[in-house]
Amino acid sequence: MLSANYKLTENEYTMSLAIFDLDNTLLADDSDYLWGQFLVDQNIVDADYYARENERFYQQYKQGQLDILKFLDFSLQPLADNSMHDLILWRTQFIAEVIQPILLDSAQELINKHKQRGDTLLVITATNRFVTEPIVNLYGIPHLIATTPEMIDDRYTGKVSGIPCFQEGKITRLEQWLKETGHHLNGSWFYSDSHNDLPLLKRVDHPVVVNPDEHLRQHAQNANWPVISLRDQQCPVHHLK
């Protein structure tokens, strides 16, 4: 694995769309799974049931066997069961206590270098927008495509609005966003850790694999994709010189 030190030419990297996965890519863990753990730890949900199901769905995700709609029925229900006031208080605590410690300096450096190049920065994630929006803001990334929890009369319903932002759904949601914003994939980049993101990695001009799972690592090696690490806090990102 490279320590984010492969080099690109100036012509290859000018005013492009730089797309980032979030969990286990820009973060040193999975915010969706950690939010579930946080709800258990705070006694907001039934501890035994929720911890068991949260772990079961997470293992299915890692194995590429996740039924996203069943998972969303599970993971979005606490949003429906609680007031917006309480949810925001809990989320603020979650960000401070759980997310802040797993932000990555090398990830911020990579983001900053894209920004310095004039690139358009975008996070695309299967984790729902309620959880991810403040995290993306911490990294200073202006655009987010995430799974969207349905809201009616200023209250979450526990259902998903539109297409879940997962696997092929990421491509569908991205294409909608491109059409709405006028951006394009010419010269585009996508950074991800997960084989679940192979459909989108295959669509961009510059796929970059970050601390990958074993399935994605093997694919990256066969496809000659760059494999980098953002976990080594002592190693600066050099590849965008």
186: left (phi over 0), alpha (psi -120 to 50) or beta: beta
| pLDDT score for 15 | 74
Residues 21, 30, 119, 213: which is the catalytic one?
Answer: 21
Nearest to 25 by CA among 131, 107, 134: 107
pLDDT in tens, 112-160: 999 999 999 999 999 999 999 999 999 999 999 999 999 999 999 999 9
Residue with the bigger pLDDT between 223 and 234: it is 223
Active site residue 23: yes
Edge to edge, the sheet with strand 155-161 lists 155-161, 143-152, 120-128, 17-20, 189-192, 206-210, 227-228
Sign, CA dihedral 182-184-187-188, equals: positive
pTM for the whole structure: 0.90
Q: Kindly report the average pLDDT of the chain as a whole number.
A: 92
How far is the C-alpha of 196 from the C-alpha of 61, rounded, in Å? 8
Between β-strands 206-210 and 17-20, what pairing exists: parallel, antiparallel or unpaired? unpaired
* Total length of the chain: 241
Q: What's the whole-number mean pLDDT along residues 210-216?
A: 96
Tell me what pLDDT residue 10 has: 42
What average pLDDT does range 43-64 have in this prediction?
A: 95
Q: Is the predicted pLDDT of residue 11 greater than 60, yes or no?
A: no
Question: CATH assignment of 17-228?
Answer: 3.40.50.1000
Confidence (pLDDT) at 232: 73
pLDDT band, residue 63 (cuts 50/70/90)? very high
Catalytic residue, chosen from 23, 32, 193, 197, is 23
Rounded to whole angstroms, how far apart are CA atoms 45 and 14?
47
Assess whether pLDDT exceeds 80 at residue 75.
yes
Please compute the mean of the pLDDT values over residues 34-58 and round it to a whole number.
Answer: 96
Cα-Cα end-to-end distance for the chain: 19
Confidence of residue 241 (pLDDT cuts 50, 70, 90): low
30 counts as catalytic:
no
% of the chain at pLDDT higher than 90: 89
